[in-house]
Structure 1
């Protein structure tokens, strides 16, 4: 009976092996991937603005929702990675400042048609 208790104690005292360590990206690799993601979104937004936020002549909601959210999300993540870089706050500020100009309603009026290509150049 003693050998059984000892065996149980040894089993209970066995420490599991540490979990496999995964090769995670470095902070620089993460920042580089986020910068690339942001650059792609800026490019898409620039194209949409150059086309006066229209696809086939019809108002597009891309910048009012999809691209704006992606731009903002990437910029916010990069602020955490590179807090001293003012560009990311400028992008977020630009989105907030121009949000009312890129809605379907605003695009439909044609009021900002001349301004959209200039806005594209800001990127």
Structure 2
């Protein structure tokens, strides 16, 4: 049976230590969102990342945000290119998300791997039931 993300984080000693609302309303691209800063700690390392959540969604928990960040990073990392990644969201190239979003998510995956280690990152993304 696959464990939940919350169970694996706790068992591994990954601590989600903070979630702060840092912005609300449209971003520079016009997307209505709430921006949060998530902070986590593990084996003496600290990971801090902004997470943007759509305004129409319910208020996220810190676990929701961590799960979302793991999936976003993995999704971008798995793509062969920006176009491959963007086409996962729409088939119309005129509606593709900005290239900077893809680049930010590839960097997010790199930072999460550095924070958690490759094995934990892959386990949390591919072999874990997300609580959200």
- Whether these two folds match at TM > 0.5 is no
Which structure carries more helix by proportion? Answer: 1
Which is richer in strand? 2
Q: TM-score, normalised by structure 2?
A: 0.29
Larger C-alpha radius of gyration, 1 or 2? Answer: 1
Higher relative contact order (CA 8 A, sep 6+): 1
